[in-house]
Chain A
Amino acid sequence: GAVVSQHPSWVICKSGTSVKIECRSLDFQATTMFWYRQFPKQSLMLMATSNEGSKATYEQGVEKDKFLINHASLTLSTLTVTSAHPEDSSFYICSARAVSGKYDTQYFGPGTRLTVL
């Protein structure tokens, strides 16, 4: 149980185009999902918190108009990188919060490797 999927697993795009990444909780409902970004040889950095049915909360320094987040259902959150540029090339990872009784745990997707040419 507690599986989170991401699609696509990798994407290459031209500078100026937009890219959408999907994050799905496959066997549980998640009212809260998180989006992280990881640059080579660095740790994960939280970008935003995505809440089902409401606006995402962005971390300081993350442009909300550039990284659009939509959490339209309890099993799906999407991250759209608008007008992508080479500096947006990174590993994007989502997580979904599973709450069951006393357990409150986040489960992560496999990540999406974005390369902007």
Chain B
Amino acid sequence: DAKTTQPPSMDCAEGRAANLPCNHSTISGNEYVYWYRQIHSQGPQYIIHGLKNNETNEMASLIITEDRKSSTLILPHATLRDTAVYYCIAQAPGSGSARQLTFGSGTQLTVLP
């Protein structure tokens, strides 16, 4: 799996958009970009994933650059409950069972009132 780089921490004002960047400059053509978040003392929560097109769901939007070397997760209207550690993971589709997710240190997002 390609290595990803994220800023260790970010702040965002409540109600504003939170834009979380991720660098994956060594990503290969068949690797997807996954985003998870972990609220304190809970299991990680799946947010969104994509390959090369931008994706949107009820939680967030994922913008992937044309060269696929970086991406941005956008929470359009951050709330205090979005305070969490956000993980960006690059991974190829599964083949067999060896498809574990490798978690880096992530970005601690703090939403401020």
**Interface positions of A from 65 to 117, Cβ below 8 Å from B:** 91, 93, 95, 97, 99, 104-111, 113
B93 touches A104 (CB 8 A): yes
Question: Known contacts A43-B105, A105-B49; is A111 also within 8 Å of B98 by CB?
Answer: no
Q: Are B43 and A111 in contact (CB under 8 A)?
A: yes
B41: chain A residues at CB < 8 Å are: 91, 111, 113
A residues less than 8 Å from B49 (CB atoms): 105
Kindly state whether residue A25 has any CB partner on chain B within 8 Å: no
Instruction: Report the count of interface residues on B (CB-CB < 8 A).
Output: 23
- Which residue of chain B lies nearest to A35 when distances are taken between CB atoms in the complex? B100
Does A44 touch B at the CB level, under 8 Å? yes
Whether the pair A108, B46 counts as a contact (CB closer than 8 A) is yes
Are A43 and B103 neighbours in the complex by a CB distance under 8 Å? Answer: yes
Query: Are the CB atoms of A93 and B43 closer together than 8 Å?
Result: yes
Considering the complex, give the chain A residue whose CB is closest to the CB of B44.
Answer: A108
Which 7 residue pairs spanning A and B have beta carbons closest together?
A108-B43, A44-B103, A43-B103, A111-B43, A108-B44, A46-B100, A93-B43
Report which B residues bind A (CB closer than 8 A). 34, 36, 38, 41-46, 49, 87, 93-94, 97-106
User: What are 17 A-B contacts with C-beta separation under 8 Å?
Assistant: A4-B43, A6-B43, A32-B97, A34-B101, A43-B87, A46-B101, A49-B100, A93-B43, A95-B44, A99-B94, A108-B36, A108-B44, A108-B45, A108-B46, A109-B43, A111-B43, A113-B41
